Structure 1
Amino acid sequence: MNFAFDDDTEDMREAVERFARRDLADPPPDGALDPAEFRRRWQLAGKQGVVGSVVPERYGGSGLDAVTAAAVMEALGYGCPDTGFAFSVAAHLFAAVMPIAEFGTEEQKRRWLPALCSGERIAAHGITEPDAGSDTLALRTRAVRDGDSYVLDGAKAFTTNAPVADVFVVQAATAPGGGFFGLTAFVVEADTPGLSVGPPYDKVGLRGSPTADVRLDGCVVPANAVLGAEGAGASVFAGSMKWERTCLFAAYLGAMRRVLESTVAYAGQREQFGVPIGGFQAVSHRVVDMTLAVESARLLLYRAAWGLARGSEDEVAPALAKLAVSEAAVRVGLDAVQLRGALGVLSGEAETLLRDALPSRIFSGTNEIQKNNIARALGLGGSRRGTRR
């Protein structure tokens, strides 16, 4: 049992922190989307090797394992005050690029992965729908075989990176009512006729991550756009969720560590009644509780990453990691605001962390669904219909 990174991982983590502080320090004002500026920052992250970190080297990635990839994402979250941008990088990599790397044909990998790893192209994953969130087998988007093509019709919601994406991994029902084997994943280019993207959402948090609806109206894709095989969509999705629930949330560890450090510094400088507020037990104990939340979540996340790097099929560890990190992020955000008093509700990193943390309890499968999945793995309750996120 070793809780220290090896020298190469430590060097990589420090390099990403320096890069993020130097090149990603200024988030867009009010989260306003400037596609050109977003892509400029994205290409810088690509040159740093961040957007393709876990893809095998022969396809343009860095070939990192899950532990090192989590360390890189933690460093990005620490150095980049725009957690939304870090979230977009992680969603691109773990929810869209890794499915291509793990389930794609050799032709698909060579066609898509190099540009997705270099930062030249951006990927998005379309699965959530207005009426299908946690119950992913209830998708209404349909894919009908027509000779050597498929025709896709439907709508996706809450699609991260949709306004800037060049490539979409889209889940659709090829056998409606077919259960686990009724879904199929497709790789669809953004300029495919019939695919359209709505305006970016105005969100409470993660404002630096462009998100929008996607419509598919008679969108024709070739049969070789199928990812994996027809009917393998649920397996593709489950594979991406193991990566996402583990490595994506490492960005929140970095953001929490950054805010915790500044909170400790503030408590040591801010004086009331002639002494620094950090000398008051109510304040110091709250900071200790913040530290406990961050460090506990960090251990669970890296334990899940350790298992993923070794090919573990355990679904409990990623679910526990997602729960721990998201709940810790909300708590640390609340405490950071409280300890700053009135300054905490002004624009700054404390309120930003809190706003960015709120969605983390919902995406990648709500925390309630994670608890259901863990309980089921423990043998509690009967089986339920559907695949839950």
Structure 2
Amino acid sequence: MIAWSKDDERLKEGISLWFGKFDEDRPRYGREPAFPREPWLAVMESGILRLPFDEKWGGLGQSLLTTMYVLEELGRCCRNTGLNFGITTHMVSTGVALQRFGSTALKDAHLPQVCAGTAVGTHAVTEPDSGSDALGMRTTATADGDCYRLSGAKAFVGNGPVADLVVVYARTEPAAGPLGVTAFLVARDTPGLTFGDPVEGTGLKSAPLCSLFLDDCRVPRTHILGRVGAGLLVLDHVRTWEILCCFIVGTGEIRRRLDRCVAYAGERSAFGRSVGGFQAVAKRIVDMKIGLEMSRKWLYDTAEKFTAGRKVTADLATAKLVADRIAATLGLGRAA
């Protein structure tokens, strides 16, 4: 496994001091489908949203691996899973896409607000008819001088009810197949862009979703991420980050559950000794520990390979499968 530096350790410990504030009033956010506004203020102050972004735009300049290291601790310490989901959605779907593919002018205009958390980000991929099949999307973007006019509908937009910036994927050339999709950065107040009512996600009440509607929404060409027709390249990069970050948060949640199981097995007694001394119980705990470490290894090894510029399609699929299986044993199924 990776040998973390002292700087990595200090960064994780410093940001983790805020995780108690992230968790404040969690029972209320577990009952009501509402974005956790008060905890989000603590998120902004903590600096966690700044992790993977360049210092010139207000970021902390950290690598993907270090970012994952801190996010794993977030999963272990913060039980507000909806807030955790909102953090990774904001950071990756908008921030990572903008930093990697946005023009300098576009980054200058928006990335500082993304780093600070004053502008909440998301992306819109899924559609009512085609689901997450990017090649089957029907949202269109038609060239009109120095702009594109976007029309269509998106569904299940994470952070949507409160999003200020949305990366919208739309088809610019219907006959071009994989080269016919383009990514646009769209501000919430853009005429023609409207948001539906919040929809509660299963197990993520504090991360409400919504639909998004585009009615001849006029977006400047300068707001294209990457280039025309390269939207699936943007999405592939973003989804790799998204899977690695979401699932590493999940391993933190698994570690918290495992720690509780170990503690309970030591406290609970039966037949004159702690239940942790029974072979059946001990075996289950050992299996959970092995599953956790397998998940961590696959995720971090895949991140190292991705950072080195190598293809990780198979590694990513395996990491998802391994992490999801151990999560399922603890009732912590993930989706990405």
Change (3 A) 1:113 1:10: same
Equivalents in 2 of 1:223, 1:196: separation in Å?
20
Counterpart residue number, 2:100: 102
Equivalents in 2 of 1:221, 1:95: separation in Å?
19
Q: Is the 8 A contact 1:183 1:232 kept in 2?
A: yes
Q: Is the 8 A contact 1:17 1:78 kept in 2?
A: no
* Number of residue pairs matched by the alignment: 335
What secondary structure, in the 3-state scheme, does the structure 1 residue paired with 2:118 have? coil
Q: Pick the structure with more strand per residue.
A: 2
Deviates more, 1:183-192 or 1:272-281: 272-281
Q: Deviations over 1:21-80 (max 9, x none)?
A: 244343252342444xx2332232122221131111111111111110100110111110
What secondary structure, in the 3-state scheme, does the structure 1 residue paired with 2:315 have? helix
Equivalents in 2 of 1:311, 1:72: separation in Å?
22
Change (3 A) 1:216 1:31: farther
Equivalents in 2 of 1:48, 1:308: separation in Å?
27
Change (3 A) 1:323 1:165: same
Letter in 2 for 1:268: G
Counterpart residue number, 1:142: 140
Equivalents in 1 of 2:238, 2:92: separation in Å?
6
% of aligned pairs identical? 38
Q: Which blocks of at least 5 consecutive residues in structure 2 are unaligned?
A: none
2:216 matched to 1:218? Answer: yes
* Aligned-residue RMSD, C-alpha: 1.7
Q: TM-score, normalised by structure 1?
A: 0.82
Q: Which of the residues 245, 248, 251 maps onto 2:249?
A: 251
Equivalents in 1 of 2:320, 2:120: separation in Å?
24
What secondary structure, in the 3-state scheme, does the structure 1 residue paired with 2:204 have? coil
Q: Which blocks of at least 5 consecutive residues in structure 1 are unaligned?
A: 334-353, 365-389
Counterpart residue number, 1:340: none
Equivalents in 2 of 1:148, 1:259: separation in Å?
53
Q: For residues 1-389 of structure 1, what are the structure 2 equivalents within 5 Å?
A: 3-29=2-28, 30-35=30-35, 38-331=36-329, 333=330, 354=331, 357-358=332-333, 360=334, 363-364=335-336
Q: Is the 8 A contact 2:201 2:208 kept in 1?
A: no
Q: TM-score, normalised by structure 2?
A: 0.94
Equivalents in 1 of 2:4, 2:149: separation in Å?
48
Letter in 2 for 1:197: F
Change (3 A) 1:168 1:198: same
What secondary structure, in the 3-state scheme, does the structure 1 residue paired with 2:87 have? helix
Q: Is the 8 A contact 2:201 2:207 kept in 1?
A: no
Deviation at 1:90, TM superposition (A): 0.7
Deviation at 1:210, TM superposition (A): 2.1
Letter in 1 for 2:118: E
